[in-house]
C-alpha cells in the first residue's frame, strides 16, 4: 500500500495519505495497519529465525538421522540402519564407563561448586571495602576462555614439576619426587578424574556465587522489612521469604551449569584425552573420538544423543522457570 501511495496513484485517499500523517490512520482500517506492523516484524525476525532453524534446528534433526544411519567421514552415502548405532553403543563397555564417569563428574562437581559458591556468595553479600576489585578477581576463572585456563592446570598437574606437588612436598604431606607417595595427577587412573573435576569446579564456582548473588539482590528490601516488622527471625525470613524468591534463579543457574558441565569436552580432552586407561572417558569425549577421530558419524551422533535424556529435564525446567518469571 505504501508503494502505491508513493507512486501517487489516482486514488485520492492514497494521495491524502502521503500529504498528511494523521489522515493516514483515518484512511487505513485497523486491520491493514496491524498487518503492516506484523509484516515489518516478521521481516525483521526472519534472518535470525532462519539462521537458528538452518544451523541449530536442522542439524539437530540431522543428528537424529545420522544416529540411525551408517554415515561415516569417508563414505558420503549413508544407509538407514535403524537403532543399530544405539544398540552397538549400549553393548560397548566403554559406553557404560563413559556414562558412569559423566554422572560422577557431574554430581561431584555440582556438590563442590554449590558449597564453594554459596560460601563465596555470602561473603560477597557483605559490605566491605574493595568489594568490586575482589569480586572482579574471584570471577576470573569463569571469564577466562576455557581452553586457555585448562593449559595452566595442565602445567600445574605436570608429572614432575607440578607446583601443587611442590607445595604438598614442602608441607611434608607427600614424599619426594620418585617416591611412592608422589601423585601423578593426570597419569594415575585413581587421580585423573578427580583432577579433571577440580578444574571444572575451579572454573564454575564463581558462576554459582554470582548467580546466587543475583538471586539475593532480586529480593526487594521492602519485603524483608515487612517480614521483620511482622516479627520474623533471621532464619524465618530466609526460609519463608528469601529462599522461595531466589529459587527460580538458582534453578536456572543450576540447570545452565548442568548443560555446560555434562556437554563440555574441553577440560577432559585437553588434560587427559579420556585416559589413563579410560579413567576420565566421559560421553562427550567418547562421542568426539568415535565421531570425528574414528570417522563413524552415525555411532558418534548416537552417543552424543544419549546426553539428551540427561539434559532434557534441565531444559524443561529452564523453560518453565523462564516463563513463570515473565519480565
Partner 1 sequence: MARVLTEARTVPPMSQRRKDIRRHLLIYAGLLPFLIIAVFPIYWMLITAFKQDPDLYRMDHIPFWFNMKPTLRNFDILFNQTNYGAWLLNTFTISAWVSAITLLTAVPAGYALARLKLPGAENTGIAIFLTYLVPPIILFLPLSRIVAELGLQDSWWSLVVVYPTFTIPFCTWLLMGFFKTVPMEIEEAARVDGCGQAGAFLRVILPISLPGVLTSVIFAFTLSMQDFLYGLAFVSPGDQKPVPVGVPTELIRGDVYYWGSLMGAALLVGLPVAVLYNFFLDRFIQGITGGIGK
Site for partner 1, residues 144 to 183, rule: CB under 8 A: 144-153, 155-156, 160-161, 163, 166, 177
In contact, 274 and 268? CB cutoff 8 Å:
yes
Q: Interface mask (CB under 8 A) for partner 1, residues 278-317, using x and -?
A: -----xx--xx--xx----x--xx--xx-xx--x--xx--
Q: Which three cell numbers stand for residue 134?
A: 575482589
Q: Interface mask (CB under 8 A) for partner 1, residues 4-23, using x and -?
A: -----------------x--
Cα dihedral 233, 246, 199, 150, rounded to 10, equals -140
Q: Where are the alpha helices (DSSP H) in the chain?
A: 2-6, 12-19, 21-27, 30-52, 58-67, 84-91, 93-125, 131-138, 140-143, 146-156, 163-170, 189-217, 221-229, 234-237, 243-263, 266-271, 283-288, 297-305, 307-325
CB of 263 to partner 1, least distance (A): 3
DSSP string, 289-300: IIIIIS--HHHH
Answer yes or no whether residue 128 interacts with partner 1 by CB under 8 A: yes
CB of 87 to partner 1, least distance (A): 19
State the angle between helix axes of 297-305 and 307-325 in degrees (0 to 180), rounded to the nearest 10. 50
Nearest CB to partner 1, comparing residues 10 and 327 = 327
In contact, 202 and 146? CB cutoff 8 Å:
no
Nearest CB to partner 1, comparing residues 13 and 147 = 147
- Give me the sign of the Cα torsion angle 261, 262, 263, 265: positive
In contact, 285 and 274? CB cutoff 8 Å:
yes
Nearest CB to partner 1, comparing residues 10 and 105 = 105
CB of 321 to partner 1, least distance (A): 7
Cα dihedral 104, 106, 109, 115, rounded to 10, equals -110
Tell me which of 84, 263, 273, 275 binds partner 1, using CB under 8 A: 263
Answer yes or no whether residue 138 interacts with partner 1 by CB under 8 A: yes
Span from 85-93, 184-192, 217-225, 273-281 in contact with partner 1 (CB under 8 A): 217-225
Answer yes or no whether residue 112 interacts with partner 1 by CB under 8 A: no
CB of 37 to partner 1, least distance (A): 6
Answer yes or no whether residue 80 interacts with partner 1 by CB under 8 A: no
Answer yes or no whether residue 111 interacts with partner 1 by CB under 8 A: no
Residues numbered 231 to 260 that lie near partner 1 (CB under 8 A) are 234, 238, 242, 249, 252-253, 256, 259-260
Span from 8-16, 41-49, 90-98, 185-193 in contact with partner 1 (CB under 8 A): 41-49
Answer yes or no whether residue 211 interacts with partner 1 by CB under 8 A: yes
Cα dihedral 141, 143, 147, 153, rounded to 10, equals -10
Nearest CB to partner 1, comparing residues 278 and 300 = 300
Tell me which of 37, 79, 87, 240 binds partner 1, using CB under 8 A: 37
Amino acid at each position: 500500500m505504501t508503494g502505491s501511495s508513493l507512486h501517487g496513484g489516482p486514488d485520492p485517499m492514497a494521495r491524502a495519505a502521503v500529504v498528511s500523517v494523521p489522515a493516514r490512520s483515518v484512511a487505513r482500517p485497523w486491520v491493514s495497519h496491524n498487518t503492516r506492523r506484523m509484516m515489518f516484524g516478521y521481516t525483521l525476525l526472519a534472518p535470525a529465525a532462519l539462521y537458528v532453524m538452518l544451523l541449530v534446528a536442522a542439524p539437530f534433526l540431522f543428528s537424529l538421522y545420522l544416529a540411525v544411519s551408517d554415515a561415516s567421514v569417508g563414505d558420503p552415502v549413508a544407509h538407514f540402519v535403524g537403532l543399530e548405532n544405539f544398540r552397538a553403543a549400549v553393548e560397548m563397555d566403554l559406553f557404560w564407563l563413559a556414562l558412569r564417569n559423566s554422572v560422577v563428574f557431574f554430581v561431584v562437581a555440582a556438590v563442590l561448586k554449590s558449597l564453594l559458591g554459596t560460601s563465596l556468595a555470602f561473603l560477597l553479600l557483605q559490605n566491605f571495602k574493595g568489594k568490586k576489585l575482589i569480586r572482579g578477581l574471584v570471577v576470573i576463572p569463569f571469564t577466562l576462555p576455557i581452553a586457555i585456563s585448562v593449559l595452566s592446570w595442565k602445567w600445574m598437574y605436570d608429572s614432575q614439576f607440578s607446583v601443587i606437588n611442590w607445595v604438598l612436598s614442602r608441607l611434608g604431606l607427600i614424599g619426594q619426587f620418585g617416591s611412592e607417595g608422589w601423585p601423578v595427577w593426570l597419569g594415575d587412573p585413581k587421580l585423573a578424574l578427580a583432577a579433571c573435576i577440580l578444574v571444572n569446579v575451579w572454573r564454575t564456582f564463581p558462576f554459582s556465587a554470582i548467580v546466587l548473588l543475583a538471586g539475593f539482590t532480586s529480593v526487594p528490601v521492602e519485603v524483608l522489612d515487612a517480614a521483620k516488622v511482622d516479627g520474623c527471625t533471621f532464619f524465618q525470613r530466609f526460609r519463608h521469604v528469601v529462599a522461595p524468591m531466589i529459587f527460580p534463579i538458582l534453578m536456572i543457574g543450576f540447570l545452565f551449569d548442568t548443560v555446560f558441565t555434562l556437554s563440555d569436552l574441553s577440560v577432559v580432552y585437553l588434560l587427559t584425552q579420556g585416559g589413563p586407561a579410560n579413567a576420565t572417558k566421559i560421553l562427550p569425549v567418547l562421542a568426539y573420538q568415535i565421531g570425528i577421530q574414528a570417522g563413524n558419524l552415525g555411532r558418534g551422533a548416537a552417543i552424543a544423543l544419549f546426553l539428551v535424556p540427561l539434559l532434557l529435564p534441565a531444559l524443561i525446567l529452564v523453560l518453565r522457570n523462564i516463563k513463570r518469571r515473565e519480565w
